[in-house]
Every structure is written in C-alpha cells, then in structure tokens.
Amino acid sequence: MILLQLFLVFFKIGLLTFGGGYAMLPMIQSETERYHWLTPEELIDFIAISESTPGPFAVNISTFVGMETAGFPGAACGTLGVTIPSFLVILFVARHYDQFRKSRIVNGCMAGLKPAVIGMLAASLFSLVQTVLVPETGFTWNSPIFYISVLILFIMGILSFRKMHPIIIIFLSAFMGIGMGYLTEIL
C-alpha cells in the first residue's frame, strides 16, 4: 500500500511541476509534509545533499524519501513515479514539436504557470526561513544564534548572487555552522 502511495504521490509531483529544480520545491514540500515523510529541517538538509551529489533534485529526493519510508522497493517506486510523467509527455512532444510550440493552449497555460511557480517558491522560502531562523523551541530576540544566522544568510546571499558555485556555498556555510555551534557551547 505504501509503495502505491509513494508511486502516486511522486507521479503527481512529476506531472504537475514545471521548470524542474527549485521550481519543484513547493510541491515536494507540501506533499512530504502532508504525509509526514520529511520534516522541514530534513527537507533542507536533503536539498544540501542533493546539491552536492550528481543528478536531478527530483530523482534524488524521490529515491531518498522512498528509501526512508519503504526501503529499496520504495525508492524504486518513488523514482519511477517522478520519472514516468515527463517520459511520456516528452515522447509525445518529440513527435509533435511544431504543433506543441505553437499551441495556444500550451502557451496560455504557461503564462499562468510561470508566475505561479515563482509565488509558490516565495511562500516555500518564507516558511523555510522561519524554520531555520526561528526554531520552535526557545526563541528569544536576544539569542546570539539568531543574529549570527542572519549574518551568515547575508554573506551567503551576497556570494550566491555573485554567482559563486552552490557547492562552495554549502562548504563555506558548513564551516560557519561549525564555528557557530562551538561558539554557542562557550557562551
């Protein structure tokens, strides 16, 4: 039963996310939270792992979630689920490329979808910022961790807008995290 569920949920994610990569994040976040497959923290940790391992984010996360909920068969079902929709759609489009490109229906839908994905990703980012910067347990405005975190976010933001490679950003923020961790032990 869980295998079927994994397949169907990832099928849905594969079918209804446009743009790939982070554009898929809102859908993955809402579905994995709904079924209690991942907490927001686990999701962010997993994005980091996915950025530092080869392959597309959607495949990485479907494999991982499948593995965690139902072992190897789960990983296979999740990955198949997320792959099959694009596989079938592309087979169709590869045959009818010109009609597809000129199709008013496709272009019309995309006019609504592109901005929708941006708005959804903004909402996802907002909730993830809350999770990371304002932990549910014992947040106070004068906690040094909060200010250090904001500082790290600021630095990493500048670096990533300067087109620094994601893996370097992950490494740098890992070092800063280690520094922050030991600092709070002293304080």
State in angstroms the smallest separation of the CB of 39 from another protein.
12
Question: Tokens standing for 56?
Answer: 């597309």
Dist CA 79 CA 11 (whole Å): 9
> Which amino acid would we find at residue 28?
I
The answer to whether residue 8 forms part of the interface with another protein (CB under 8 A) is no
The answer to whether residue 156 forms part of the interface with another protein (CB under 8 A) is yes
State in angstroms the smallest separation of the CB of 9 from another protein.
11
State in angstroms the smallest separation of the CB of 92 from another protein.
9
Dist CA 187 CA 144 (whole Å): 9
Among 63, 69, 70, 77, binds another protein (CB under 8 A): 63
Q: Do the Cβ atoms of 74 and 64 come closer than 8 Å?
A: no
Among 108, 134, 139, 144, binds another protein (CB under 8 A): 108
Dist CA 80 CA 31 (whole Å): 17
State in angstroms the smallest separation of the CB of 4 from another protein.
18
The answer to whether residue 73 forms part of the interface with another protein (CB under 8 A) is no
Dist CA 43 CA 16 (whole Å): 19
Instruction: Give the footprint of another protein on residues 122-141 (CB under 8 A).
Output: 122-129, 132-133
